[in-house]
């Protein structure tokens, strides 16, 4: 499993996964299940496509390594609360996007993305405090 996390720590893996989010929602908006299937496959195989990075000092690499450490020891903290909010708003985004409700979809899709960036920043801080 550690090999998975190291490959996932490649900044290209994180950046392309983040860039996939709008395409996921567009596929749902247009009810294009073929495109949705391809996007889901991409999200699953993404960490396996990229090699382990040569350096682990980028923001994205530190975030992934911090998340690996954090998930090994679950605790009730801000990061867990952020994950809960991300899940709630992501499900709302999926529903409003599927129903083609433009403004609710836009708001509910933006919130989990912003919260995910906040969570990820918390993982960078966690890694810098505990991981080095």
Q: 119: pLDDT confidence band, cut at 50, 70 and 90?
A: very high
The whole-number pLDDT of residue 132 equals 66
C-alpha span between 91 and 98 (Å, rounded): 11
Q: Which domain holds residue 106?
A: 2-130
C-alpha span between 35 and 115 (Å, rounded): 26
C-alpha span between 121 and 100 (Å, rounded): 31
pLDDT tens digit sequence for 42-93: 999 999 999 999 999 999 999 999 999 999 988 899 999 999 999 999 999 9
- Output the CA torsion 92→98→104→110 (10° steps): 70
The domain tally of the chain equals 1
The whole-number pLDDT of residue 15 equals 96
């Amino acid at each position: 499993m550690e090999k998975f996390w190291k490959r996932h720590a490649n900044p290209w893996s994180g950046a392309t996964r983040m860039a996939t989010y709008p395409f996921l929602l567009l596929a749902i908006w247009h009810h294009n299940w073929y495109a949705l299937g391809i996007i889901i496959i991409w999200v699953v195989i993404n960490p396996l496509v990229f090699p382990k990075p040569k350096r682990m000092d980028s923001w994205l690499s530190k975030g992934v390594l911090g998340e690996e450490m954090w998930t090994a020891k679950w605790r009730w903290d801000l990061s867990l609360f952020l994950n809960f909010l991300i899940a709630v708003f992501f499900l709302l985004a999926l529903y409003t996007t599927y129903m083609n409700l433009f403004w609710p979809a836009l708001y509910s899709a933006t919130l989990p993305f912003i919260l995910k960036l906040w969570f990820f920043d918390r993982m960078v801080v966690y890694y810098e405090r505990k991981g080095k």
